[in-house]
A and B are shown apart, each in its own frame.
Chain A
Amino acid sequence: MHAILCIIVIVGALGIQGCAAPEPSQDLLALTEAQMKIRSVQTRTFDVKDRQLAMRGVIAALQDLGFIIERANEPLGLVTAARFAEPNFYDVVGVTVTVRQEGAGRMMIRANAIYNNKPIEDPKVYQNFFTTLERSLFITKG
């Protein structure tokens, strides 16, 4: 009986170790090569003339993806949205999208996504987002 209790306690202790939060690194604000790469992954340029039209496209795309629009600022071209990581309702995905004019008739759109306060750096995530956005912008234009 004692042996079983011992084993349970050890397994429990291992469980605590497995769930420990990682320490934040020292060079949190240093500009690295990886950050430049991430920025290029997060940014894409679209042929849209009107910024408001581009913003409406971004909002529609985010809604299609099941995001809740939390904040929008038209003069700054800013949209902030979030969604719960269904099917579990304890994790949150947040995204901030900025729309900026880049030359005549071109819009630079940048998306930053976080998963529970941790930045998402997987290029595939941003590819997926821009694919949906492309479709949404096409429909909005039409």
Chain B
Amino acid sequence: MRRTLVAGICLFLSSQLAGCVTHTQPAELFQLTAESPRNKAMETRFFETKDEVELLSASAAVLQDLGFQVEESVQDVGFLRATKERSAREYGQDIGRFFTFILSLGGFIMPVDLHQKIAATLIARPINPEATRQEVRIIFYRVVWKGDGQADRQYIPPGQQKMEMLRDPVMYQQFFAKLSKAVFLEAFAL
């Protein structure tokens, strides 16, 4: 009895610590960082074409091929936003959940990632006054929702959110490879 009580208090205290984690100051979030140019280079390609509309519709088609649903589009500023929803279950997390359950003597059921929404925003724009050269920039990110859990007798409701930018270069390379095939043009990097 006493052991569960102490375990419960420890869990409660650690959850308190998590709630009071230090946050990034908003002022820093409006500044270019050392990673900004690298991210930009990864997310951007240039195409030697005058046809911005064609580039935009080809991008939408590529995103559809990749399983995305286009949610928003504004042709005047060359903007597209597309999302896809998938399961976020990972075996590793389920194994972790099982072992924490055993080690805490059944007192703690860890919430695991359940569902995710992968999204892409894309901007196509001319970069010279004659509009013979276009830039396409795409950014991928995802939002993950956790399932429910339990800490001692306290029920943890499902729906806790985690968000992250997807910065895997391969993903971006694949997208641009498909796009350049779709518009029959070579994509130039920065």
Task: Using known A-B contacts A19-B19, A19-B20, A64-B32, determine if residue A128 contacts B76 with beta carbons closer than 8 Å.
Answer: no
Report whether B125 and A84 are in contact in the complex, using a CB–CB cutoff of 8 Å: no
B185 close to A (CB within 8 Å): no
Which residues of B lie under 8 Å from residue A124 when comparing CB positions?
27
Which residues of A lie under 8 Å from residue B19 when comparing CB positions?
15, 19
Which residues of B lie under 8 Å from residue A122 when comparing CB positions?
26-27
Which residues of B lie under 8 Å from residue A63 when comparing CB positions?
40, 43, 123, 137, 139
**How many whole Å from B67's CB to the nearest CB in chain A?**
19
A5 close to B (CB within 8 Å): yes
The range of chain B's interface size is 35 or more
Which residues of B lie under 8 Å from residue A85 when comparing CB positions?
23-24, 26, 29
Report whether A74 and B81 are in contact in the complex, using a CB–CB cutoff of 8 Å: no
Report how far A66 CA is from B4 CA in the complex, Å. Answer: 45
- Chain A-chain B contacts (Cβ-Cβ < 8 Å), number: 118
Report whether B13 and A8 are in contact in the complex, using a CB–CB cutoff of 8 Å: yes
Task: Using known A-B contacts A64-B40, A65-B30, A89-B162, determine if residue A56 contacts B24 with beta carbons closer than 8 Å.
Answer: no
Report whether B161 and A91 are in contact in the complex, using a CB–CB cutoff of 8 Å: no
| Interface residues of chain A: helix, strand, loop or mixed (majority) | mixed
Report whether A128 and B31 are in contact in the complex, using a CB–CB cutoff of 8 Å: yes
Which residues of A lie under 8 Å from residue B162 when comparing CB positions?
89-90
B16 close to A (CB within 8 Å): yes
Report whether B27 and A88 are in contact in the complex, using a CB–CB cutoff of 8 Å: no
Which residues of B lie under 8 Å from residue A75 when comparing CB positions?
76
Report how far A73 CA is from B76 CA in the complex, Å. Answer: 9
Output the nearest chain B residue to A14 by Cβ-Cβ distance. B16
The range of chain A's interface size is 35 or more
Task: Using known A-B contacts A18-B20, A56-B77, determine if residue A5 contacts B9 with beta carbons closer than 8 Å.
Answer: yes
**How many whole Å from B27's CB to the nearest CB in chain A?**
5
Which residues of A lie under 8 Å from residue B77 when comparing CB positions?
52, 55-56, 59, 72, 74
Which residues of A lie under 8 Å from residue B24 when comparing CB positions?
85-88, 91
**How many whole Å from B63's CB to the nearest CB in chain A?**
15
A110 close to B (CB within 8 Å): no
Which residues of A lie under 8 Å from residue B40 when comparing CB positions?
63-64
**Known A5-B5, A68-B121, A128-B30; 19 more pairs at CB < 8 Å:** A12-B9, A12-B16, A15-B13, A59-B125, A65-B29, A68-B141, A71-B72, A72-B74, A72-B77, A74-B77, A84-B165, A86-B24, A87-B24, A88-B23, A93-B29, A122-B26, A125-B26, A128-B27, A140-B125
